[in-house]
A and B are shown apart, each in its own frame.
Chain A
Amino acid sequence: AQTVTQSQPEMSVQEAETVTLSCTYDTSENNYYLFWYKQPPSRQMILVIRQEAYKQQNATENRFSVNFQKAAKSFSLKISDSQLGDTAMYFCAFMKHGSGGYQKVTFGTGTKLQVIP
């Protein structure tokens, strides 16, 4: 079974600064996908960024980028130029194809990020 660990329950960052959220995972799979989701107080999970394990290049999406270290099973999220709207819970997630074609997502426990004005 896959496990996803987020060791930082809470973090804070000054507006306009950069912050990095950590995520490690455990799997014996070789092909899988990793995601970061954001959950603001509105409760809706919003996809922030996606990384395919077979791609060595780190994914980037505007102010959001990842540092994917496959051998170390590490998948950190860097938020540059933090904005007040980035305040939310951030979940790291692991996904692979299961038997029968299903796609199960395993989530970490989340990191609560507070952006301070």
Chain B
Amino acid sequence: DAGVTQSPTHLIKTRGQQVTLRCSPKSGHDTVSWYQQALGQGPQFIFQYYEEEERQRGNFPDRFSGHQFPNYSSELNVNALLLGDSALYLCASSLDGLLYGYTFGSGTRLTVV
């Protein structure tokens, strides 16, 4: 049973560019959350998608946007990249996160130069 799959695993972008990160949730999961993890820090909540709608977002600017598709897969888009956007971006999926917790992917390491 495949878990959460994220692509790409590593990415280098130039300041000002745009990037799209992709996530395929674990089979049977319908909720996808995105987190940003800076080096040496805990993950910070970006937003959560359920039934193709953004259900909630954390304290991130509008440069961060996302989408969930009918098959529950999701994309995270970041526009006008800043050096400070360099981080590990984690995708987590769940069916009922309170009961079962979240299943995380291995993340996409984004480096902005």
Contacts and interface: CB of A to CB of B under 8 A. Distances in A.
B106 A105 contact: no
A103 B97 CA distance: 7
B57 to A, nearest CB: 9
Contacts of B40: 109-110
Contacts of A43: 88, 106-107, 109
B97 A105 contact: yes
Given A109-B41, A110-B41, A110-B42, A103 B31 contact: yes
21 contacts: A35-B101, A37-B104, A43-B88, A44-B3, A44-B104, A44-B105, A45-B92, A45-B102, A47-B103, A96-B98, A98-B56, A100-B55, A101-B50, A102-B50, A103-B31, A103-B98, A104-B45, A104-B48, A105-B45, A106-B45, A110-B40
Interface of B: 3, 31, 33, 35, 40-45, 48, 50, 55-56, 58, 88, 90, 92, 94, 97-98, 101-107, 109
